[in-house]
């Protein structure tokens, strides 16, 4: 192979449109832009413009509130925790926390903390340290003989209210 034999793959380069080159070209006269109007001009900015009418995003009322400081928790259910223990990704003897869950491949990232949910059941006693847990999850862990530790909460294993997580 020589430098003068190099070429693109067939169809890799399209010839540019030659506009305004007569009727026979198919792109003569108005060059494919139709007749007059904002869209026929160059530099148009039509996004959400409704021709002088009040745009829909201004006609409709604003609703709700978006809290920019809202915490986003990574959620994990008891059945996924048990699967990870069965696979050997997590050590049931050690304290299971966000770092262990990420390292074991159970969660991709811990976000603002991990919240334990109650679907499924555990077969062995484990100590879990999480940012929050539902009442059902705490009951499920305690039924198996383990305990849930929530660092920010008081001495009891009270889970944060539903609105907080």
**Does residue 125 belong to any structural domain of this protein?**
yes
Same domain, 29 and 100: no
Range of the domain at 48: 19-65
**Does residue 78 belong to any structural domain of this protein?**
yes
**Does residue 123 belong to any structural domain of this protein?**
yes
- pLDDT > 90: what percent of the chain? 67
Same domain, 98 and 49: no
The 3-class secondary structure across 18-48, one letter per residue, is CCCCCHHHCCCCCCCCCCCCHHHCCCCCCCC
User: Are the C-beta atoms of 137 and 117 separated by less than 8 Å?
Assistant: yes
Same domain, 107 and 135: yes
How many domains are contained in the chain?
Answer: 2
Same domain, 43 and 108: no
User: Are the C-beta atoms of 59 and 65 separated by less than 8 Å?
Assistant: no
Put residue 68 in one of left, alpha, beta given phi > 0 → left and psi -120 to 50 → alpha. alpha
**Mean pLDDT, residues 93-106 taken together:** 91
**Does residue 12 belong to any structural domain of this protein?**
no
**pLDDT band with cut points at 50, 70 and 90 for residue 158:** low
Same domain, 47 and 78: no
33-82 pLDDT, tens digit each: 999 887 888 887 778 888 889 999 999 999 999 999 999 999 999 999 99
Same domain, 105 and 145: yes
- pLDDT at residue 43, as a whole number: 80
Same domain, 97 and 142: yes
**pLDDT band with cut points at 50, 70 and 90 for residue 163:** low
- pLDDT at residue 154, as a whole number: 61
């Amino acid at each position: 192979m020589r430098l003068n034999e190099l070429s693109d793959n067939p169809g890799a380069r399209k010839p540019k449109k030659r506009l305004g080159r007569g009727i026979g070209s198919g792109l003569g006269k108005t060059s494919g832009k139709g007749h007059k109007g904002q869209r026929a001009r160059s530099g148009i900015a039509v996004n959400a413009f409704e021709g002088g009418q009040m745009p829909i995003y201004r006609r409709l009322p604003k609703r709700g509130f978006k809290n920019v400081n809202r915490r986003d928790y990574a959620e994990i259910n008891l059945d996924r925790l048990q699967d990870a223990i069965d696979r050997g990704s997590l050590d049931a003897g050690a304290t299971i926390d966000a770092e262990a869950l990420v390292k074991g491949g159970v969660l991709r990232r811990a976000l603002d903390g991990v919240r334990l949910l109650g679907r499924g059941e555990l077969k062995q006693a484990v100590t879990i340290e999480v940012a929050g847990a539902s009442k059902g999850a705490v009951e499920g862990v305690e039924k198996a003989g383990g305990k849930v530790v929530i660092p920010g909460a008081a001495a009891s294993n009270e889970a944060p209210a539903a609105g907080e997580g």
